[in-house]
């Protein structure tokens, strides 16, 4: 006759902790012994015994005397991942193709039985203030973060965090962070050279603050360098600052066209491209006869334009696959920090023409 085994208090505590780990109650670190003892209403020695049981199972890892225990990849592997996505701007305001990429990532991550949620505020709404952004992240813990079009300062901060972070688009070049995005540098240069060949000398590139500061990104600097190679004095007129609101963008257009208007504009987002077309129409300025326009995104709506829109094209499918593979690697406890790029190319179109001489 076998003797009936009765679980000790330590074993019962270990089972409660085990359930908490599997449900995702705790993320990276377990609370300290004193806090757990108070919560379970048991002695600290009992909690220490329970923690030793979970360490033996490989669910926890001791970090040294007096330090909280970390939760291992094996413990994470028993539960659903909670993946947080920090948007650059409202999803409704994201250019169409970017919005489609984000929604496809959301669908694919959830199809793997993981949770994906969006942060309540975007980087634009928080003024790209890293302190405000990181405080918000701390209030909404996750097992992994996807940072969309992050600034250099934000992505640099992410490299120092225990929570794995992935940079989708953004200024990740040279940083040890997993990332993917289109390699648009050569396409930007091709677009700029084409405009120069057509006689344009007053060319403006409209880029977000995160792309301009603290110093111009590699793409933006390549644009300025190309102008300089052709003997043009590149400066604030070519890469202007603006407030990232609809009102701020219209104020920018008004100031650009007040005295010596540009003859060509390279515009980084579809929403601003459409707003520019509307502004030019109100001014009775014709595209491309008086102003040439290049879109740096690839919007499906461009295919409906009669003469086509000059734009930069890339394939988003490899980017989606890369992000989803990375999420699965986090699940296995093997998140990488490898950068990846997708080729992009400049597509000529009817929205550009010879520089206006009027």
Is 271 found in the same domain as 335? no
| Beta carbons within 10 angstroms of residue 167's beta carbon | 25
Residue 355 lies in a domain: no
Residues 216, 286, single domain; the answer is: yes
Tens digit of each residue's pLDDT (9 = 90 or more) over 236-277: 999 999 998 999 999 999 999 998 999 999 998 888 999 999
Q: What percent of the chain has pLDDT over 90?
A: 62
Residues 6 or more apart in contact with residue 142 via CB below 8 angstroms: 27, 82, 83, 84, 117, 163
8 Å CB contact between 137 and 84? yes
Do both 101 and 114 map to the same domain? yes
Across 299-304, average pLDDT? 82
Q: Which CATH number is 252's domain given? A: 3.40.50.2300
For residue 65, the 8-state DSSP code is T
Q: Has residue 230 been placed in a domain? A: yes
Is 34 in the same domain as 67? yes
* Spatial separation of the C-alpha atoms in residues 350 and 261, rounded to whole Å: 20
- pLDDT value, residue 1: 47
Write down which residue in 76, 106, 131 finishes a domain.
Answer: 76
Residue 168 and residue 104 share a domain: yes
Alpha helices in the chain (DSSP H): 9-23, 33-40, 44-56, 73-76, 96-111, 130-139, 152-158, 185-197, 209-212, 218-229, 246-256, 270-282, 317-331
Are residues 71 and 140 part of one domain?
no
Predicted pLDDT of residue 201: 96
For residue 24, what pLDDT is reported?
67
d(CA 14, CA 167): 37
- Cα of 121 vs its chain's centroid, Å: 14
CATH number at residue 14: 1.10.10.10
pLDDT at 302: 83
Please check whether residues 189 and 234 belong to one and the same domain: yes
Asked whether residue 209 falls in the same domain as residue 308, the answer is yes
Cis bond leading into 170, ω under 30°? no
d(CA 206, CA 141): 35
Across 96-102, average pLDDT = 81
Q: Are strands 70-71 and 60-61 parallel, antiparallel or unpaired?
A: antiparallel
Flag whether 115 is in a domain: yes
Burial of 302-338, coded b for 16+ CB within 10 Å and e otherwise, reads beeeeeebbbbbbebeebbebbbebbeebbeeebeee
Q: What does the H/E/C string look like for 108-134? A: HHHHCCCEEEECCCCCCCCCCCHHHHH
Last residue of one domain, picked from the residues 26, 60, 76: 76
Q: 179: pLDDT confidence band, cut at 50, 70 and 90? A: very high
Residues 213 and 261 in one domain: yes
Question: Alpha-carbon distance 126 to 209, whole Å?
Answer: 13
Same domain, 240 and 286: yes
Q: Range of 15's domain?
A: 9-76
- Mean pLDDT of the 182-208 span: 96
Model pLDDT, residue 319: 95
**358 part of a folded domain:** no
Residue that the structure tokens 């008086």 belong to: 290
- Residue 354: inside a domain: no
With pLDDT > 70 as the criterion, what percentage of the chain qualifies? Answer: 94
Average pLDDT over residues 74-100: 75
Q: What is the pTM of this model?
A: 0.74
How many Å apart are CA 37 and CA 299, to the nearest integer? 57
Lowest mean pLDDT among 26-35, 46-55, 233-242: 26-35
In-domain check, residue 55: yes
106 and 144 together in one domain: yes
Tell me if 357 is assigned to some domain.
no
- Written as one string, the DSSP assignment of 77-90 is TTS--EEEEE-SS-
Give the mean pLDDT of the chain.
Answer: 89
Query: Residue 351: inside a domain, yes or no?
Result: no
343 has which bridge partners?
Answer: 183
pLDDT, residue 81, reads 85
Count structural domains, the chain.
Answer: 3
Q: Do 87 and 131 have their domain in common?
A: yes
Q: Give φ, ψ of 181 to 5 degrees.
A: 180, 165
Task: Please give the average per-residue pLDDT across 325-349, as a whole number.
Answer: 89
Domain final residue, candidates 76, 93, 127: 76
């Amino acid at each position: 006759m076998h003797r009936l085994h009765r679980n000790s208090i330590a074993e019962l505590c270990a089972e409660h902790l085990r359930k908490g780990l599997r449900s995702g109650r705790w993320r990276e670190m377990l609370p300290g012994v004193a806090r757990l003892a108070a919560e379970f209403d048991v002695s600290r020695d009992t909690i220490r015994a329970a923690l030793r049981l979970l360490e033996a199972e490989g669910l926890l890892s001791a970090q040294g005397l007096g330090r909280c225990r970390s939760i291992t990849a094996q413990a994470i592997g028993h539960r659903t991942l909670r993946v947080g996505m920090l948007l650059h701007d409202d999803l409704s305001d994201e250019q169409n193709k970017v919005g489609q990429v984000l929604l496809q990532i959301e669908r694919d991550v959830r199809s793997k039985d993981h949770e994906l949620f969006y942060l309540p505020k975007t980087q634009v709404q928080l003024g790209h203030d890293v302190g405000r952004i990181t405080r918000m992240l701390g209030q909404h813990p996750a097992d992994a973060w996807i940072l969309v079009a992050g600034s250099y300062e934000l992505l640099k901060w992410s490299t120092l965090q225990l929570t794995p972070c992935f940079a989708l688009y953004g200024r990740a070049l040279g940083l040890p962070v997993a990332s993917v995005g289109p390699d648009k540098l050569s396409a930007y240069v091709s677009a700029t050279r084409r405009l120069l060949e057509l006689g344009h000398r007053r060319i403006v590139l409209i880029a977000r603050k995160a792309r301009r500061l603290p110093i111009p990104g590699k793409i933006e600097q390549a644009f300025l360098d190309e102008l300089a190679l052709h003997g043009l004095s590149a400066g604030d007129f070519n890469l202007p600052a603006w407030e990232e609101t609809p009102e701020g963008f219209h104020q920018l257009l008004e100031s650009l066209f007040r005295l010596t208007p540009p003859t060509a504009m390279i515009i980084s987002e579809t929403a601003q491209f459409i707003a520019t077309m509307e502004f030019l129409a109100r001014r009775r300025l014709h595209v491309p006869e008086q102003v040439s326009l290049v879109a740096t995104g690839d919007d499906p709506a461009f295919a409906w334009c009669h003469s086509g829109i000059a734009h930069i094209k890339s394939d988003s499918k490899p980017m989606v696959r890369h992000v989803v593979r990375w999420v699965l690697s986090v699940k296995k406890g093997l998140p990488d920090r490898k950068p990846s790029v997708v080729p992009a190319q400049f597509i000529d179109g009817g929205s550009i023409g010879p520089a206006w001489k009027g």
